[in-house]
Amino acid sequence: MTPLETEADLAGLIAGARDPLAIRGGGTRGLRPQGEALETSGLTGIDLYEPGALTLVAAAGTPVGDLQRLLATENQRLAFEPMDHRPLLGTTGEPTIGGVVAGNISGPRRVQAGACRDFLLGVRYIDGTGTVIKNGGRVMKNVTGYDLVKLMAGSWGTLGVLTQVSLKVLPRAETQATVVVSDTRLAGAVRAMSAALGSPYEVSGAAFDPAADSVFIRIEGFVDSVAYRLGRLTDLLSGHGTVTAIEDTDASDTLWKRIRDVEPFADAPGDVWRLSVKPSDAPEICGRLDAEGVLLDWGGGLIWARVPSATDLRGRLGAFGGHATLVRADAETRAALGMFQPESAPIQDISARLRARFDPRGIFNRGLMGRT
């Protein structure tokens, strides 16, 4: 389907739809929900940018790269550091800001700054009847009733089609550095990350790559502040392994982009799963995965696992405190296992009621989040 370029055209198409619609933005995540493709990449453009107010409003189909380049001219950034799925999935296209919001895509800086939904000020979207709805605004505020702004973030297009998003942005850090703790094992790595995150030194990234046998701790800010905190963290973590530092800003930035985009798994075979867990549970859960490779982010709260193709990782794990999302697999495995962790009965009931309210005909991204 040719991308539609106006919200009105999109609303009209949805209102007249009789069959399922598969919402597609930049096409970088390789999702294949049931139905005819509904292209939103034609809805592009920066509708408002106020650097002094740290506010940006953009059409949902606007490429993330366009936003990042505009923000860079004012020395600002998207603080939640959205992942680019293309290296891991081998896809093409351009990630869109609507797709980022729909998936609540958040990178390593989440441990300090928060998730995508925490920077979302307002949304415009079209519900399953073709009605255009606006919620939120251009400032942070308390709300009553449904907080539709937060609800749309992470709904993966099952509640409505985003057409515009309003975001809070933040200043770009003057510099960054990374503390590297080598010669440590998984349990010790989690302890080291916990020590760094529990310190007063404003850590903005905490990851562990077993293949490199190293913990990575990122600090950002003004030059003098980073230098001071680098010294304090070096002392703090000296008992956890061999401590070195990456003080070159570009080298540190490249490292965290590699972690953000899970590049160590990009050219490796097998399926890739994403597990959200309590950081303290990570060592025990990783021991049960029997994975060919793992990468930990968010201080151990996010586990990326690479396993042989068609592995039922949820079945292998059994009950655990968290959820497992299938990110990379062939179509047959996706169909058999589903992308998302099955919901408990009470949550299923809540989800069904929400979808019935927002998409009464059940036409949006059918089959993506457990619905058929």
Same domain, 158 and 184: no
| CATH classification at residue 217 | 3.30.70.2190
| CATH classification at residue 157 | 3.30.465.10
- CA separation for the pair 23, 161 (Å, rounded): 7
201, 233, 260 — which closes off a domain?
A: 260
Q: What pLDDT was estimated at residue 370?
A: 63
Helix or strand or coil: residue 114? Answer: coil
Does residue 144 carry a pLDDT above 60?
A: no
Same domain, 254 and 267: no
Q: H/E element holding 21?
A: strand 21-24
Q: How confident is the model at residue 139 (pLDDT cuts 50, 70, 90)?
A: very low
Does residue 16 carry a pLDDT above 60?
A: yes
Average pLDDT over residues 82-101: 95
In this structure, are residues 71 and 56 in contact, taking their beta carbons and an 8 Å threshold? yes
Q: What pLDDT was estimated at residue 145?
A: 46
Same domain, 237 and 269: no
Q: What pLDDT was estimated at residue 142?
A: 43
Does residue 183 carry a pLDDT above 90?
A: no
Does residue 366 form part of some domain? no
Same domain, 212 and 298: no
pTM for the full predicted model: 0.93
226, 260, 294 — which closes off a domain?
A: 260
The neighbour count for residue 119, using CB atoms within 10 Å, is 23
Does residue 80 carry a pLDDT above 70?
A: yes
> What is the extent of the structural domain holding 79?
7-171
Does residue 343 form part of some domain? no
Same domain, 14 and 144: yes
Length reported for the chain? 372
Same domain, 249 and 293: no
In this structure, are residues 61 and 96 in contact, taking their beta carbons and an 8 Å threshold? yes
What distance separates the 2 farthest-apart alpha carbons in the chain?
65
244, 260, 276 — which closes off a domain?
A: 260
Domain count, the chain: 3
Same domain, 166 and 279: no
Q: What pLDDT was estimated at residue 41?
A: 87
**What is the separation of C-alpha 296 from the centre of its chain, rounded to a whole number of angstroms?**
14
Same domain, 318 and 183: no
Q: What percent of the chain has pLDDT over 70?
A: 96
Average pLDDT over residues 176-194: 95
Does residue 117 form part of some domain? yes
Q: How confident is the model at residue 143 (pLDDT cuts 50, 70, 90)?
A: very low
Q: H/E element holding 91?
A: none
Does residue 146 carry a pLDDT above 60?
A: no
Does residue 313 carry a pLDDT above 70?
A: yes
Q: What pLDDT was estimated at residue 372?
A: 46
Does residue 17 form part of some domain? yes
In this structure, are residues 242 and 251 in contact, taking their beta carbons and an 8 Å threshold? no
Average pLDDT over residues 88-93: 93
Does residue 363 form part of some domain? no
What does the mean pLDDT of the chain come to?
92
Does residue 53 form part of some domain? yes
Q: Which residues of 257-293 are buried (b: 16+ CB within 10 A; e: fewer)?
A: bbbbbbebbeeeebbbbbbebebebbbebbeebebeb
Query: pLDDT tens digit string along 205-259?
Result: 999 999 999 999 999 999 999 999 999 999 999 999 999 999 999 999 999 999 9
Tokens of 260: 């953000």
Same domain, 248 and 273: no
Q: How confident is the model at residue 141 (pLDDT cuts 50, 70, 90)?
A: very low
Does residue 360 form part of some domain? no
| DSSP classification of residue 167 | E
Same domain, 187 and 245: yes
Same domain, 278 and 323: yes
Closest by CA position to 216, among listed 189, 188, 236: 189
Q: H/E element holding 62?
A: none
Same domain, 152 and 30: yes
Query: pLDDT tens digit string along 274-300?
Result: 999 999 999 999 999 999 999 999 999
Q: How confident is the model at residue 57 (pLDDT cuts 50, 70, 90)?
A: very high
